[in-house]
């Protein structure tokens, strides 16, 4: 299987937080979409307060004819920080939202501070039973806790519900390395399955591994299923973040080919230093890629489009 891929047409920056709200002083990172009705969607993201702690928010957008129009911003965060000592007491960053009838499963990464290493993060889950109006934590513990398969960290799930077979591609830490006297994280992408989207089976299946000795962080997978297979975009970091690409017949064995991602950092401006955290969504006759540029979302969310063949 080789899906026909074309270059994306960049539309430039789309949105960044107003800066006047306490929990959203800066950044709009890790975008994800949840359809509301017609062209209307919720755009989920992460913003930071003045102490650099992230929380989850959303703004309404309308997709139409290859453009995105930004609507009303929800001034309240979706979840507060976790209780003191919890896995998400120092920040929550957005990951993925999956619909199951009126139920919504909102996956995120919860952050806590470390002593021997600067931080820990683990994949968390919040659930809405009212179509996304309100959310509550599924449990106060991570959806993907540390275990023998993932002994260091987990994060950034991408989740598809295929007729009751829930499938997840997620970040898994492979360790920390001392570089110039400082600990540097290493993580790639693994695969898991579930019968209900809540409890997950992990067997250590690696989806996307490091592409070179210089690469040390592969993050934010976004998987799209087509009639003839699967496509994945993700962020890969060596000297800087770029957007990578892979294809699969079954969603388990992947063929990586970053040259076919169709998008690179720009020559100047908001995404010249990096392009990262892609989210691809098909709506009517277009595919939309929402992504972040410089500073891991410090310059807000931008987007690119291409027509569906």
pLDDT, one tens digit per residue, over 134-174 is 999 999 999 999 999 999 999 999 999 999 999 999 999 99
Give residue 1's pLDDT.
40
Give residue 3's pLDDT.
45
pLDDT above 70 (res 68): yes
Give residue 2's pLDDT.
45
End-to-end CA distance of the chain: 16
pLDDT above 90 (res 102): no
The residue-averaged pLDDT of 116-133 equals: 96
Q: pLDDT of 23-55, one tens digit each? A: 999 999 999 999 999 999 999 999 999 999 999
CA–CA dist 176, 271 (Å, integer):
28
Question: Residue 50 is encoded by which pair of tokens?
Answer: 């003045």
Q: Percentage of residues in the chain with pLDDT exceeding 90?
A: 93
Please state, rounded to an integer, the average pLDDT across all residues of the chain.
95
The alpha-helical segments, DSSP class H, found in the chain are 294-297
DSSP β-bridge partners for residue 280:
289
Predicted TM-score (pTM) of the model is: 0.96
Contacts of 160 (CB under 8 A, 6+ apart): 98, 166, 167, 223, 225, 251
Q: What is the DSSP letter of 193?
A: E
CA–CA dist 120, 166 (Å, integer):
26
Burial 244-271 (b: 16+ CB within 10 A, else e): bbbbbeebeebebeeebbbbebbeeebb
Domain ranges of the chain: 9-307
Contacts of 101 (CB under 8 A, 6+ apart): none
Give residue 101's pLDDT.
87
CA–CA dist 169, 144 (Å, integer):
12
- For 14, other C-beta atoms within 10 Å of its C-beta total 21
Considering only residues 32 and 308, tell me which one the structure prediction assigns the higher pLDDT.
32
CA–CA dist 222, 107 (Å, integer):
13
Q: pLDDT of 227-276, one tens digit each? A: 889 999 999 999 899 999 999 999 999 999 999 999 999 999 999 999 99
The residue-averaged pLDDT of 5-28 equals: 92
Whose CA is closest to 277, among 221, 237, 232? 221
- For 305, other C-beta atoms within 10 Å of its C-beta total 18
Q: Is domain 9-307 annotated with CATH 2.115.10.20?
A: yes
Q: pLDDT of 180-228, one tens digit each? A: 889 999 999 999 999 999 999 999 999 999 999 999 999 999 999 998 8
3-state secondary structure of 74: coil
């Amino acid at each position: 299987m080789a899906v026909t891929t074309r270059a994306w047409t960049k539309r430039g920056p789309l949105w960044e937080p107003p800066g006047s709200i306490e929990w959203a002083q800066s950044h709009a990172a890790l975008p994800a979409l949840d359809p509301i009705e017609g062209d209307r969607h919720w755009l989920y993201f992460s913003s930071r307060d003045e102490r650099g702690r992230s929380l989850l928010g959303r703004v309404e957008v309308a997709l139409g004819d290859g453009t995105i129009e930004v609507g009303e911003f929800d001034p309240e965060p979706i979840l507060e920080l976790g209780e003191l000592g919890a896995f998400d007491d120092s920040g929550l960053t957005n990951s993925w939202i999956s619909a199951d009838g009126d139920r919504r499963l909102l996956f995120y990464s919860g952050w806590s501070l470390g002593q021997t290493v600067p931080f820990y993060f683990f994949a968390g889950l919040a659930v809405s039973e009212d179509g996304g109006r309100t959310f509550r934590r599924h449990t106060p513990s991570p959806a993907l806790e540390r275990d023998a398969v993932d002994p260091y960290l987990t994060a950034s799930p991408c989740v598809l519900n295929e007729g009751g077979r829930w499938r997840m591609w997620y970040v898994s830490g492979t360790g920390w390395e001392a570089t110039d006297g400082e600990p540097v994280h290493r993580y790639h992408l693994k695969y898991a399955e579930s019968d209900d989207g809540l409890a997950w089976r992990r067997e250590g299946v690696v989806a996307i591994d490091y592409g070179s000795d210089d690469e040390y962080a592969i993050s934010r997978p976004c998987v799209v299923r087509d009639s003839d297979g699967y496509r994945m975009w993700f962020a890969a970091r060596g000297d800087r973040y770029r957007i990578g690409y892979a294809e699969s017949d079954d969603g388990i064995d992947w063929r990586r080919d970053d040259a076919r991602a169709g998008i690179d950092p720009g020559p100047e401006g908001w995404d010249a230093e990096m392009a990262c955290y892609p989210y691809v969504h098909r709506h009517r006759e277009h595919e939309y890629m929402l992504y972040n540029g410089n500073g891991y979302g410090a310059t807000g969310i931008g987007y690119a489009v291409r027509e569906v063949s």
